[in-house]
Amino acid sequence: MDSDTSRVSSRPSSPEVDDIFMSALKKSVHGFSGAVSSTQSDSPSEIPGLRGLSAADEEALALRMASKKDRKLLSENELQAIRLKINSRERKRMHDLNVAMDGLREVMPYAHGPSVRKLSKIATLLLARNYILMLSNSLEEMKRLVSEIYGSSGHHGGFHPSTCGTMTHAGPVPGHPAASHASHPAVPHHGLLKAPTAGAGPLGSSFQHWGVGTGMPCPCSMCQVPPPHVSSMSSVTMPRLASDSK
């Protein structure tokens, strides 16, 4: 079931960028007459944005890519070399992004065995968000309990059920949230998480949360109630930062 592993290995996210760039660059310098080259295709006719374009169209496109000054100064090959350089940078950027995404996957409470399908990007992000919210909630609960037990009023040291109002999950919840939630349903059975077998996710079949049969996020308080200070981030589709308004 680990098709993704082979898939990843067979299609690396960052294939020898320098080699690709250099070989393409050599081609462009030594008598290459196409408008643009790419890692996926060597001939201009196979370039996504140039399919079906005539030579004249390609030339016009190349001209549009350059400023008026560039049109005078840059040859076609030079323009192509610039394009390849930009493409290479973009590949590297996306590769770095994927590395960061892998790092995020590694710290998620999700089984990493070979039989577990790799989380998709969107699943990783959604899972991470809920995990953060869950940990925040747990931390708040811990703080509240500590203040109750050791606080000034400390008239009762016993565990009061009401202090666990939002901790409806089984297990010694208040004690060690992270540990107790390493197997928390914030992980399994999400619609976006493709567990190898339904009903028996990577963390076991005991989890009844996170959209069993619905693909929807867990409706329980632990998963759904964000701390006040992060409530503004509750939207899955986060708007762009105000400073990044375009």
Contact call for residue 237 and DNA (CB under 7 A)? no
Contact call for residue 144 and DNA (CB under 7 A)? no
Q: Where are the alpha helices (DSSP H) in 41-75?
A: 55-65, 68-73
Inter-residue contact 189 to 212 (CB < 8 Å): yes
**Would you say 40 or 152 has its CB closer to DNA?**
40
Q: Mark 186-205 with x for binding to DNA (rule: CB under 7 A) and - for no binding.
A: ------x-x-----------
What residues are paired with 201 via a beta bridge? 204
- Beta carbon of residue 94, minimum distance to DNA (angstroms, whole number): 5
> How many Å apart are CA 156 and CA 147, to the nearest integer?
11
How far, in Å, CA of 83 to CA of 20, rounded? 13
121 is a site residue for DNA (CB under 7 A): yes
Location of structure tokens 């590297």: 92
CA distance 14 to 171: 43
**Cα–Cα dist 221/102, whole Å:** 28
Nearer to DNA, 73 or 178 (CB): 73
Residue 238 corresponds to which tokens in the numbers above?
């986060």
Q: Tell me which of 153, 162, 237, 243 binds DNA, using CB under 7 A.
A: 243
- Give how many residues touch DNA by CB under 7 A: 49
Distance CA 188, CA 202 (A): 7
Instruction: Verify binding: residue 100, DNA, rule CB under 7 A.
Output: no
Contacting residue, 48, 113, 161, 213, with DNA by CB under 7 A:
48
Q: Which residues bind DNA (CB under 7 A)?
A: 1, 3-4, 6-7, 10-15, 20, 36, 38-40, 47-51, 61, 64-65, 67, 69, 83, 85-91, 93-95, 98, 118, 120-123, 192, 194, 240, 243-244, 246
